[in-house]
Structure 1
Amino acid sequence: MPVPDWVSDAIIYQIFPDRFANGDKHNDPANIQSWGSKPTIHGFQGGDLQGVINKFDYLLDLGINALYFNPIFQSTSNHRYNTTDYFKIDPKLGTTDDFRSLLRLAHRNNIRVILDGVFNHCGRGFFAFQDVLENQEFSAYVHWYHIHHFPLKAYGTGKAQDYEAWWGVRSLPKFNTDNPEVRAFLLKVARYWIEQGADGWRLDVPNEINDDSFWAEFRQVVKSVNKEAYLLGEIWDINPRWVGDEHFDGLMNYPFRDELIRFFIKGSLSAMAFGSNLERLTNAYPQEHNLAHLLPLSTHDTERLLTLSGGDKKRVRLMTLIQFFFPGIPNIYYGDEIGMEGDKDPDCRRAFPWEEETWDLEHRSFLKKLIQIRKTYPQLRKGTFERMVEVDELQSFVFSRSMGERKAVLVVNASGKEIDLQKVLTKRVLPEAKPLWDALNEREVTLGSGAGELKLPGLEGLILIDQGMRSSP
């Protein structure tokens, strides 16, 4: 079954639910931390589904058309990757009715909703594992897990010794997905939330369930409910095994982020090596899956790029420009659009500051512009990617996206000095002088062999569109 057509048109906004907005004080836990306080591993700050509903106009104004939520099911932690009830919205986030209201609001505005599914492991409070802890080897759920010996010791310091757990974390016991009962349960969960109206699943650590038959069945179940549902796998390396008819539509393209960091922040790549590495990423997968990969700059698992770059806004802006030009789905981690900072987990999960005077409005406007440009030109959503030229001594490069006669050209000057565009736009890019539309600055420019000089300041870029192909079909 092919990748849903809407996926390549998506611009995703990722929300860590406890930290986006608090819309209902009545569901706050008793030990809530103040909004905006320093994030801790265990503390809650009160974000919920009603908060997302209340701030929906903000999301609409930004221009995104899909939401990806970190886990929203009942759990004892703020990250909720230790699920205790897969069929229940965490009461600290709201109710199933709140979720349905959010879905209706999103779908009325043509916004898709993607949920985070944790099927490799559950929380220590999950009913089956609790039964094993209570009844030990006499439990009816012994074979739901990989148990080495009894008695099980699920609390205390150190890694789990008596049973398998994700990275040995005692509170995250690993499911035995070879057990038909476990499979049936997890597939029931997958089906249920798609039937409720969710538009897809982001699958947490799917490689930990190293079983092609499980994921093939998972895909079949989800697509049988809604063939337009999107399946996204959290795979951190280049691995084509995980896309296709028996796995996922796309992957979280962390290698793309890695290359941006190596070139723009660490300075460990030449322009030519950077272009070559990006080309290698696109060559690794069929085109329909390249277009379905998620392109993260920051996530709940990583430092925010602004912090990683030492607060270098210009470099972050260039990396964002490339994110919107490269094949795949731009992923905006909540708050990146206003210049939020954050170090390694849990600091990257700070509360969204709703005081507008704290926002980087210039970056937000830039991001809104990129969203509009991407929506306007289909070649930026569905076109093939090509390296055109790299000039190492100028730290500059030119890439293109083509879809039939429609073409867009990205020019980036990653040096700190002004350059003459004619030194970068070779005859291969523009054989002759012609008018082009500078989409970011909304102006016509004439470039190519025989045209006059045009300067591009340091740490800036352009998206150039053929004048005859400016409007979307």
Structure 2
Amino acid sequence: MERSSIHHRANDNYAYTTNAETLHIRLRTKKQDISYAGLIFGDPYISDKGQWQHEEKAMSISGSDNHYDYWHIYVKPPYRRIRYGFKVHSGDEEVIYTEKGFFNEPPNDPGSYFAIPYLHQNEVFGAPEWVKDTIWYQIFPERFANGNPNNDPEGAKPWGSEDPTVDNFFGGDFEGIIEHLDYLEELGINGIYFTPIFLAYSNHKYDTIDYREIDPQFGTKETLKTLIEECHKRNIRVMLDAVFNHSGYYFPPFQDLLEKGENSEYKDWFHPHGFPLKGGERPNYETFGFFESMPKLNTANPDVKKYLLEVSTYWIEEFDIDGWRLDVANEVDQPFWREFRKTVKDIKPDLYILGEIWHDSMPWLRGDQFDAVMNYPFTNHVFRLVASQTIHARQFIEEMTAVYQSYPTNVFDVMFNLLGSHDTPRIFTDCGEDVARAKLIHAILLTFKGSPCIYYGDEIGLTGGQDPGCRKCMVWEEEKQNSELLNEIKALILLRKEERLLANDGKFKFLDTTGNENIVAYQKYNDARSVVILINPTDVQQSFTLPFDLEGRSLTDLRTKETTKDSQFVIDGYQYKILAFNH
């Protein structure tokens, strides 16, 4: 038994409440090292004749990655408090694992065990329920549609007349979006994420000049109100982009600092390293990256904090937005985000707070800061499986298992899953403009756990390389759209809405694919029903036998509506199957 690989901690993704009564507990062990894991648990205050009273329940493996097996169990402590440890077997060896280490017999002192002192209702992770059923569509407003040429910025190019560059404009605006809301509704979209819309110098608007003003190239505040009202009539939620890590170069407080230097009242709004301020390759003031046009804000400064929190509430109160996406969220101090959450949730409790973090995000997902983060590990693994084809199916399962196990399940339900964005190459380009692979990669997106997002134009096969190439004008001529891909994505979205388990109801696990490691197979299930997704990421036909006893039951192919009692399936290259059966 490899004792050094046995790991648990009584918080975060290893022990957490799914509701006020239920505790989900995980244990990590070396892969294929442990034959049995059981939970030993009891109330810390119940004993009989000096003997602590406890019971034991078997745990089950919920997944395996390259190095570890993950065991889990759900328990309901009768008095909403618990002390617990683990019994593990490996061959003839049996040990008890607790907070105090390893023992040959269960310790009698409950103080030796892991502790959850009390299951508090207000400590249950509380992301908005509506996010679980949301299919997002990311819009880069400058490039989606031009509905009013009269507000085009100076020098705007005719729509789609040239490739995007770092500084060209095409006149996309709110009126253009309003004109195409029927298109989004028909696609099945019920959430829109807008990249920044506030007054800024650039075409991407991540260099804010005024956080309380709409950039005039997009329209007016009245136009935005109309846009949001029209979205809400269609049951489409609206999420705006908040750039609180840094301002733009032409943000008035920064201009004041440039002009007055050490005598500026805004000196402590930023992080100057000397005066006069100098830009260039390495500015002498802190910035996002080393971009002189994006000076970093001092969010620990009370005046900056007050200003930004007032901005965050203004757009909720005046425009009834449904979410904030937080740019470069990991570079802003966490005390600020805690105040931000309390401030916006006091006004709108079901507001969605989404952080842009590209790495392990558990520190921000403990219920006191964000509801979710952009799930770039998901993006990366799906890309490598289908687009670049640099990992095979078994590797994908193992690597995604590690990601899935690194968060509580109720956190993963609302994670923002994406294939591409304004910061990454177009997925159709990454797939070599292969329609079959593009359809397959969207099938994974729309059947996986989490809240999926489609980057504008990906559904019609828009192409483009790294930023700014991924920011082309949307193509509206139907004859220039890839209708095969579009229709497939529409069908997948409809399936996700019709079959609750394809969204985020129930539980999730990868299936054992030992019989054919070229297949990705995962199950979404509850006590009454299962949906199984089979993915063939290779260009050759694969077969797979479901690891279930299906005697007396039939399966339904949710795409074709055909039924069968056979548990073996053949999947053509770059194809997938979505199968459902009742228990």
Q: TM-score range by the shorter chain?
A: over 0.9
Taking the aligned partners of 2:552 and 2:512, their CA distance within structure 1 comes to 17
Taking the aligned partners of 2:296 and 2:312, their CA distance within structure 1 comes to 18
Shift of 1:127: 1.1
Show the counterpart of 1:39: 164
Is the Cα contact below 8 Å between 1:394 and 1:415 reproduced in 2?
no
Show the counterpart of 1:282: 404
Percent of paired sites with the same residue: 40
* 1:7 alignment partner AA: V
Show the counterpart of 2:486: 364
Shift of 1:429: 3.2
Q: Which runs of 5+ in 2 are unaligned?
A: 1-124
Shift of 1:33: 1.6
Higher alpha-carbon deviation: 303-312 or 337-346: 303-312
User: Which runs of structure 1 show a deviation greater than 4 angstroms over 4 or more consecutive aligned residues?
Assistant: 391-394
Q: Point out the structure with max Rg over C-alpha.
A: 2
| Distance of aligned partners of 1:349 and 1:433 in 2 relative to their CA distance in 1, 3 Å threshold | farther
1:27 equivalenced with 2:146 (yes/no): no
1:104 equivalenced with 2:232 (yes/no): no
| CA deviation vs aligned residue, 1:350-386 (integer Å, no higher than 9, x gap) | 0001111011101111101111111111112223220
* 1:17 alignment partner AA: P
> Over the residues paired in the alignment, what is the CA RMSD in angstroms?
1.5
Taking the aligned partners of 1:176 and 1:55, their CA distance within structure 2 comes to 39
Taking the aligned partners of 1:166 and 1:455, their CA distance within structure 2 comes to 50
Q: Secondary structure at the match of 1:163?
A: coil
Taking the aligned partners of 1:454 and 1:287, their CA distance within structure 2 comes to 29
Q: Secondary structure at the match of 1:166?
A: coil
Show the counterpart of 1:418: 541
Q: Secondary structure at the match of 2:186?
A: helix
Structure with greater contact order relative to length (CA < 8 Å, sep ≥ 6): 1
Taking the aligned partners of 1:278 and 1:102, their CA distance within structure 2 comes to 37
Taking the aligned partners of 1:337 and 1:465, their CA distance within structure 2 comes to 26
| CA deviation vs aligned residue, 1:300-320 (integer Å, no higher than 9, x gap) | 000011111211221221111
Taking the aligned partners of 1:171 and 1:258, their CA distance within structure 2 comes to 29
| CA deviation vs aligned residue, 1:209-260 (integer Å, no higher than 9, x gap) | 1x22111100001101100100011111122112132211111011011111
| CA deviation vs aligned residue, 1:125-146 (integer Å, no higher than 9, x gap) | 1111011112121111111000
Taking the aligned partners of 2:534 and 2:552, their CA distance within structure 1 comes to 16
Written as runs of structure 1 = structure 2, the 5 A alignment for 1:83-232 is 83-154=208-279, 157-160=280-283, 162-195=284-317, 196-209=319-332, 211-232=333-354
1:342 equivalenced with 2:464 (yes/no): yes
Taking the aligned partners of 1:320 and 1:87, their CA distance within structure 2 comes to 36
Higher alpha-carbon deviation: 429-438 or 110-119: 429-438
Q: Secondary structure at the match of 2:203?
A: coil
Taking the aligned partners of 2:270 and 2:484, their CA distance within structure 1 comes to 51
| CA deviation vs aligned residue, 1:369-406 (integer Å, no higher than 9, x gap) | 11111111111222322011225856113110113323
Q: Secondary structure at the match of 2:475?
A: coil
Show the counterpart of 1:15: 139
| Distance of aligned partners of 1:392 and 1:352 in 2 relative to their CA distance in 1, 3 Å threshold | farther
Is the Cα contact below 8 Å between 2:165 and 2:468 reproduced in 1?
yes
Is the Cα contact below 8 Å between 1:271 and 1:392 reproduced in 2?
no
| Distance of aligned partners of 1:393 and 1:65 in 2 relative to their CA distance in 1, 3 Å threshold | same
What TM-score, normalized by structure 1, do the two folds share? Answer: 0.93
* 2:136 alignment partner AA: I
Shift of 1:261: 1.9
Q: Secondary structure at the match of 1:289?
A: helix
Equivalent residue for 2:496, pick from 374, 377, 400: 374
1:457 equivalenced with 2:572 (yes/no): yes
What TM-score, normalized by structure 2, do the two folds share? Answer: 0.76
Taking the aligned partners of 2:235 and 2:364, their CA distance within structure 1 comes to 29
Q: Which runs of 5+ in 1 are unaligned?
A: none
Written as runs of structure 1 = structure 2, the 5 A alignment for 1:250-289 is 250-289=372-411
Is the Cα contact below 8 Å between 2:383 and 2:419 reproduced in 1?
no
Is the Cα contact below 8 Å between 2:387 and 2:427 reproduced in 1?
no
| Distance of aligned partners of 1:192 and 1:403 in 2 relative to their CA distance in 1, 3 Å threshold | farther
* 1:441 alignment partner AA: T
Shift of 1:34: 2.1
Q: Secondary structure at the match of 1:97?
A: helix
Is the Cα contact below 8 Å between 1:264 and 1:315 reproduced in 2?
yes
Q: Secondary structure at the match of 2:470?
A: helix
| CA deviation vs aligned residue, 1:259-299 (integer Å, no higher than 9, x gap) | 11222233332322211111111111111210111111010
Shift of 1:183: 0.4
Taking the aligned partners of 2:249 and 2:427, their CA distance within structure 1 comes to 33
* 2:171 alignment partner AA: G
| CA deviation vs aligned residue, 1:28-50 (integer Å, no higher than 9, x gap) | 01211221121010111110011
* 1:107 alignment partner AA: H
Taking the aligned partners of 2:487 and 2:366, their CA distance within structure 1 comes to 37
Q: Secondary structure at the match of 1:465?
A: strand
Shift of 1:153: 2.5
| CA deviation vs aligned residue, 1:427-466 (integer Å, no higher than 9, x gap) | x234436322211223223322xxxx65322210011112
Is the Cα contact below 8 Å between 1:440 and 1:463 reproduced in 2?
yes
More helix by share: 1
Q: Secondary structure at the match of 2:513?
A: strand
Taking the aligned partners of 1:391 and 1:357, their CA distance within structure 2 comes to 44
Q: Secondary structure at the match of 1:337?
A: helix
Q: Secondary structure at the match of 1:429?
A: coil
Equivalent pairs counted in the alignment come to 456
| Distance of aligned partners of 1:249 and 1:411 in 2 relative to their CA distance in 1, 3 Å threshold | same
| CA deviation vs aligned residue, 1:399-431 (integer Å, no higher than 9, x gap) | 1011332321001122222233xxx224x2344
* 1:461 alignment partner AA: Y
| Distance of aligned partners of 1:465 and 1:76 in 2 relative to their CA distance in 1, 3 Å threshold | same
